[in-house]
Amino acid sequence: MSAPTFPGPSSSSPDGGLRAGEVDAVAASRGLAPADLEVRLRADASSRRAVLTLFAVAIAWLLIGSIFGEIASFKLHWPDLLVRQGWLTFGRVRTAHLHAVNYGWATAALIGTSLWLMPRLVHTELKGVFMAIVGASLFTLGIAIGIIAVLAGYSDGMEWLEAPRYAAGPFLVLGGGLIGLSLFRTVAARTNDHLYVSVWYILGAFIWFPMLYIVGKWPTYNGVESAAANWFFAHNVLGFWLTAMSVGAAYYFIPKVLGRPVYSYQLSVVGFWSLAMFYSLNGMHHLVGGPMPEWMITTSIVASVFMFIPVIATGINLHMTVVGRFGALRYSPTLRFIVIGALCYTAVSLQGSFTALREVNRVTHFTHWTVAHSHVGGYGFVSFIAFGAIYYIVPRLVGHEWPSASLIRWHFNLVLGGIAIYVLALTWAGVAQGLALLDPQLPFQVSVQRTIAGLYGRSLGGLIMTLGHFVFAYHFWIMVRMPQLSRRNRPPFHDAQPILYTAEAEAARVGERVPSPGAAPVPAMRRADATDASSAQQPLQTPLEGGAT
């Protein structure tokens, strides 16, 4: 593979933004009213500092979390590795990994994405920028305190909720609250008259997370009540925090990059409310067969099966928006990451419903299958969406293109290959383990020995992913800190020639009349950004457009 190259003369101004007088020209070249472009420029300028800060923090956590994850993974097949220090024992580094990647990387990356999306979606500037930056700092501090506490042996003991209630909690609550407030104020100041799907999900996430955190951290549970609260939180933090923001982002970027509206507005409404209703009742499927009142577990199993409704609604909506335009994946790294993320969302959700069934669960429960499953969700889905979003957003904030197409290609291939090896190896290990555990004739050690090969495979997959993360972090670093290297004035994959929106094909697809030139053929509510739908019809050669489209 060739070394990164940095070709092309620069046509952007030294500070990376558009020069005075350029707005009109750029807007005209893309069939936009100058006022509409202004709205977007102001939105991006307002969120710039907060979003870049959060992305930098997120990527730092990604590297830290990857290293912890690798140490934990090695320990499962090399159990005498690094045993002499308490803080490096498996139970602590594994938990540090979970917190660093979920609350550090994914959360920070998706909050950053949300802070960028919201002003664009409601046509205003981000309100309370200072508040958001202080909030992000406090939140990051809370995560760091939680991880250090866990490593030092101070854990609250419940999975996903280990960070100490009184040491890390106040920072998380205050930090998250300030960010939420900034977003709510932004929505309140909106200047458009519809709310695009993504806004529902982001609003929802910031309402749901505090509720979940309070329930999860409530200090008075006894015995199995704490198990109920534990898994209520731990399952829903995926569905209502990470999934909500990720689906919101997917709903924005897929139509946006392709320049075509979301397939169906009705399906997006169904998807949103049915996700809220059914996902929220899923948590007890982590306790199938456990010492809980039977009706609770049954409720969760039934709700898990009903998850087919939101998943299929959202799946159809996102996938049908892409259908016929898969060629554009070659052109847009954002689209490539986000379409794979959306496919993983469908896959992991169907797998989850299936796993909740008693007959499947009796094999897979308590095995590495669950760990593989959670990585399809947390990585294949959430992290891929976050990668895609970062590739789209950062050029618009720093005003120049990603320096290297080959670094993007390396990142994509490494993380995709890595997660595929990871999931296949660990799923296989989990099934082998589960079948061995179900056979009382086999001694327990068989269930251990049958997983070892798969665990080596997982370590290998994880190493490849980690390598990809370092490539990504390096690319982000030179993108932001060394603008002199980013002298392209075209997106990295511009030569791949996108297959994008054509009015005739669009009309054929949705059964609508061919729109008259310049007029929007679809209602605003189906478009990712009411002023944006037509933007991708034009070749995107302005420095503003960035790497994705």
Partner 1 sequence: MSAEKNGGQRADFMARSGLVALGAFAVMASAIIILVVIPKTMLSEVRASPELPPYTEVQLRGRGTYIANGCIYCHSQQVRDPAFTTDVDRGWGSRATVPEDYVHDRPHLLGTMRTGPDLINVGQRLPSIDWHLIHLYDPRSLNSWSTMPAFPYMFEERRPEDVTTEDRVVRIPGPRAPKGVVIIAKAEAIALSEYLISLKRQYPVSDSVESSRHLSLNVGGGHD
Q: For the segment 268-297, give every residue that binds partner 1 (CB under 8 A).
A: 269-270, 272-273, 276-277, 280-281, 283-284, 286-287, 289-297
Query: Shortest Cβ distance from residue 457 to partner 1 (Å)?
Result: 15
Site for partner 1 in 448-487 (CB under 8 A): 448-449, 451-452
Which of 37/145 has CB closer to partner 1? 145
Contact between 124 and 43 (Cβ < 8 Å):
yes
Pairwise CA distance, residues 419 & 160, whole Å:
22
Query: Shortest Cβ distance from residue 185 to partner 1 (Å)?
Result: 11
Which of 325/368 has CB closer to partner 1? 368
- 148, 224, 499, 522: residue in contact with partner 1 (rule CB under 8 A): 224
Site for partner 1 in 365-404 (CB under 8 A): 365-368, 370-371
| Alpha-helical runs (H) found in 238-307 | 243-258, 265-274, 294-306
Cα–Cα nearest to 229, from 240, 243, 218: 218
Which of 272/493 has CB closer to partner 1? 272
Which of 41/371 has CB closer to partner 1? 371
- Tell me the residue type at 99: H
Which of 166/295 has CB closer to partner 1? 295
The HSE-up count of residue 261 (CA atoms within 13 Å, CB side) is 22
Pairwise CA distance, residues 531 & 31, whole Å:
10
Query: Shortest Cβ distance from residue 248 to partner 1 (Å)?
Result: 12
Which of 272/472 has CB closer to partner 1? 272
Query: Shortest Cβ distance from residue 153 to partner 1 (Å)?
Result: 4
Q: Which residues make Cβ contacts (< 8 Å) with residue 265, sequence separation at least 6?
A: 523, 525, 526
Pattern 422-451, partner 1, x by CB under 8 A: -----------x---xxxx---xx-xxx-x
Site for partner 1 in 203-222 (CB under 8 A): 203-204, 207-208, 211-212, 215, 221-222
Site for partner 1 in 143-202 (CB under 8 A): 153-159, 187-188, 190, 193-195, 199-200
Site for partner 1 in 234-273 (CB under 8 A): 236, 240, 265-266, 269-270, 272-273
Which of 281/405 has CB closer to partner 1? 281
Residues binding partner 1: number (CB under 8 A): 99
Query: Shortest Cβ distance from residue 138 to partner 1 (Å)?
Result: 23
Query: Shortest Cβ distance from residue 209 to partner 1 (Å)?
Result: 10
Query: Shortest Cβ distance from residue 162 to partner 1 (Å)?
Result: 8
Contact between 97 and 14 (Cβ < 8 Å):
no
Query: Shortest Cβ distance from residue 520 to partner 1 (Å)?
Result: 16
Query: Shortest Cβ distance from residue 7 to partner 1 (Å)?
Result: 45
Contact between 122 and 199 (Cβ < 8 Å):
yes
Site for partner 1 in 485-524 (CB under 8 A): none
Contact between 479 and 486 (Cβ < 8 Å):
yes
Q: What are phi and psi of 388, to 5 degrees?
A: -60, -45
The piece of 81-89, 255-263, 332-340, 531-539 that touches partner 1 (CB under 8 A) is: 81-89
CB neighbourhood size of 69 (10 A): 25
Cα–Cα nearest to 97, from 433, 466, 468, 391: 466
Site for partner 1 in 301-340 (CB under 8 A): 301-302
Site for partner 1 in 9-68 (CB under 8 A): none
Pairwise CA distance, residues 209 & 192, whole Å:
27
Which of 265/470 has CB closer to partner 1? 265
Which of 240/345 has CB closer to partner 1? 240
Buried-state track 203-226, b at ≥16 Cβ within 10 A, e below 16: bbbbebbeebbeebbeeeeeeeeb
- 298, 346, 406, 538: residue in contact with partner 1 (rule CB under 8 A): 298
Which of 411/526 has CB closer to partner 1? 526
The HSE-up count of residue 415 (CA atoms within 13 Å, CB side) is 30
Which of 32/98 has CB closer to partner 1? 98
Which of 367/535 has CB closer to partner 1? 367
Q: Which two tokens stand for residue 233?
A: 């939180």
Q: Which two tokens stand for residue 190?
A: 């909106």
Pairwise CA distance, residues 529 & 195, whole Å:
10
Cα distance between the two ends of the chain = 24
Contact between 387 and 472 (Cβ < 8 Å):
yes
Site for partner 1 in 353-372 (CB under 8 A): 358, 362, 365-368, 370-371
Q: Which two tokens stand for residue 199?
A: 């806004």
497: left (phi over 0), alpha (psi -120 to 50) or beta: left
Q: Which residues make Cβ contacts (< 8 Å) with residue 67, sequence separation at least 6?
A: 466
- 105, 232, 381, 472: residue in contact with partner 1 (rule CB under 8 A): 232
